[in-house]
């Protein structure tokens, strides 16, 4: 029994020494942290565990910030007064940092001095399509516009839809009996943005429709044909292309020129004489050069309606739906 008591007393003494050592270590760490804070001269409320002391320090810091702010305002006002008295320009005012003025860069943000691309796109379309006229729609209903255009013997109507000053859709209405095609417009590039662009002439352009192979494609191709006259002026050397690829219709507008160029070719005198020297015969080659006139854009068919535009009682021949895209190799035009 005596030996057990001695062992228990010895273990208790060891524990007491360990706790004292741990307590001393913690106290040393706290002292080091306090010294670091004192050296920096800052005491943050989050470092204080006592709630009352923490709130007191927080109130003092808040009051000190208000005093510093007032001092800065007084110093700024005094500097402005001095500058006005001396006839100098006052110091620039500091702009506060906010979430609004530090937002991430966005290309779609419209500035007050930005040009609207809608009117620029329409003016370039007028230069592409002969005998085209531009009228502002205003608040007129599209059905009334169709009736007016029929009375004035127009052959087609093109409605340009814009979103945030950017054209994003085209509505082509064939007159007098339709059809009506709704296209999504994307990747618009105006003439001024095309490198080494040319300026179109007033000649009637040639029309090239490429890869419209299905019945729906033929229907769309014939609708596009109605926009252009069927007697192009070949002297103008203008060509307008609608190229269909994977149901995306790429529009391009070019001027072309033919050039004759001499090319030198090596021809053997005879097939049997292998060691004979080759003779250089000059031949003329005719080369075609293209110059893009713009604009450049891409169309994607959204719907085709039978007849003229009618949202309530109109009959749709074809409407694109997401569930129709079952395969990457399935195309509709």
Query: How many domains, the chain?
Result: 2
Residues 64-115 have pLDDT tens digits of 899 998 998 898 888 888 888 888 888 787 788 888 788 887 766 666 666 6
User: Residue 76 has what pLDDT?
Assistant: 87
Sign of the Cα torsion 297, 300, 301, 302 reads negative
Question: Which SS3 state, helix, strand or coil, does residue 152 take?
Answer: coil
H-helix or E-strand spanning residue 207: strand 206-210
Distance CA 330, CA 326 (A): 7
Specify if 315 maps to a domain: yes
Domain that holds residue 195: 117-261+285-325
- For the chain, the average pLDDT equals 82
Among the ranges given (30-34, 113-117, 186-190, 193-197), the one the predictor scored with the smallest mean pLDDT? 30-34
Instruction: Find out whether 331 and 247 touch, Cβ atoms under 8 Å.
Output: yes
Compute the distance between CA of residue 198 and CA of residue 205 in angstroms, rounded to an integer.
Answer: 14
Residue 9 maps to a domain: no
Considering the domain architecture, whether residues 128 and 80 belong to the same structural domain is answered as no
Same domain for 166 and 297, yes or no, is yes
163 found inside a domain: yes
Over range 236-263, report the average pLDDT. Answer: 91
- How much is the pLDDT for 229? 92
Residues 6+ positions from 70 with CB-CB distance below 8 Å: none
Q: Which residues pair with 296 in a beta bridge?
A: 189
Rounded to a whole number of angstroms, the distance between the first and last alpha carbons of the chain is 103
Closest CA to 214 of 304, 297, 314, 298: 304
Q: Is the confidence at residue 3, as pLDDT, over 80?
A: no
pLDDT tens digits, 6-59: 445 555 555 555 555 555 655 666 666 656 555 556 677 777 888 888 888 889
Collect all residues with Cβ–Cβ distance below 8 Å to 58 and sequence separation of at least 6.
45
| Residue 68 sits in the same domain as residue 199 | no
Token code pair at residue 221: 């191709």
| Confidence band for 4, pLDDT divided at 50, 70 and 90 | very low
What is the C-alpha separation between 326 and 320, in angstroms, rounded?
12
Q: Which tokens belong to 6?
A: 């001695």
Closest CA to 142 of 183, 116, 184, 180: 180
**332 inside domain:** no
Q: Are residues 180 and 86 in the same domain?
A: no
Q: What is the pLDDT of residues 124-134, one digit of tens each?
A: 999 999 999 99
Nearest to 156 by CA among 204, 242, 223: 223
Q: Which residues contact 148 (CB under 8 A, 6 or more apart)?
A: none
Closest CA to 252 of 314, 295, 191, 210: 295
Residue 59 and residue 153 in one domain: no
Query: For 164, left (φ over 0), alpha (ψ -120 to 50), or beta?
Result: left
Same domain, 150 and 48: no
Cβ neighbours of residue 194 under 8 Å, at least 6 residues apart? 292, 294, 296
Residues 225 and 122 in one domain: yes
Which uninterrupted H or E stretch holds 32? helix 2-40
- Asked whether residue 242 is assigned to any structural domain, the reply reads yes
Task: Kindly state whether residue 81 falls inside one of the protein's structural domains.
Answer: yes
**174, 317: one domain:** yes
Q: Is the full-model pTM beyond 0.75?
A: no
Do 86 and 127 have their domain in common? Answer: no
Instruction: Clarify whether residues 77 and 216 are in a common domain.
Output: no
């Amino acid at each position: 029994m005596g030996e057990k008591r001695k062992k228990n007393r010895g273990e208790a003494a060891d524990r007491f020494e360990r706790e004292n050592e741990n307590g001393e270590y913690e106290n040393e760490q706290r002292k080091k942290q306090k010294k670091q804070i004192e050296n920096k001269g800052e005491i943050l409320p989050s470092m204080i565990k006592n709630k009352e002391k923490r709130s007191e320090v927080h109130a003092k810091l808040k009051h000190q910030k208000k005093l510093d702010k007032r001092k800065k305002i007084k110093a700024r006002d005094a500097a402005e007064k001095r500058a006005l008295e001396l006839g100098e320009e006052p110091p620039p005012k500091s702009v506060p940092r906010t979430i609004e003025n530090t937002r991430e860069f966005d290309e779609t943000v419209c500035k007050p001095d930005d040009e609207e691309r809608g009117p620029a796109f329409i003016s370039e379309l007028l230069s592409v399509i002969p005998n085209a006229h531009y009228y502002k729609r205003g608040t007129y209903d599209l059905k009334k516009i169709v009736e007016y255009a029929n009375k004035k013997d127009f052959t087609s109507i093109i409605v340009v839809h814009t979103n945030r000053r950017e054209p994003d859709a085209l509505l082509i209405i064939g007159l007098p009996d339709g059809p009506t095609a709704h296209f999504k417009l994307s990747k618009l590039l105006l003439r001024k943005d095309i490198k080494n662009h040319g300026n179109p002439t007033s000649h009637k352009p040639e029309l090239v429709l490429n890869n419209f192979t299905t019945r729906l494609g033929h229907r769309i191709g014939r609708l596009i044909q109605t926009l252009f006259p069927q007697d192009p002026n070949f002297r103008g050397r203008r060509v307008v292309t609608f190229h269909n690829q994977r149901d995306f219709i790429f529009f391009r507008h070019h001027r072309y020129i033919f050039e004759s160029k001499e090319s030198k070719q090596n021809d053997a005198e005879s097939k049997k004489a292998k060691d004979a020297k080759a003779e250089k015969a000059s031949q003329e080659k005719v080369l075609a050069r293209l110059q893009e006139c713009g604009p450049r854009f891409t169309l994607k068919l959204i719907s085709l309606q039978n007849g003229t535009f009618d949202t309530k009682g109109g009959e749709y021949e074809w409407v694109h739906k997401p569930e129709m895209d079952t395969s990457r190799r399935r195309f509709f035009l």
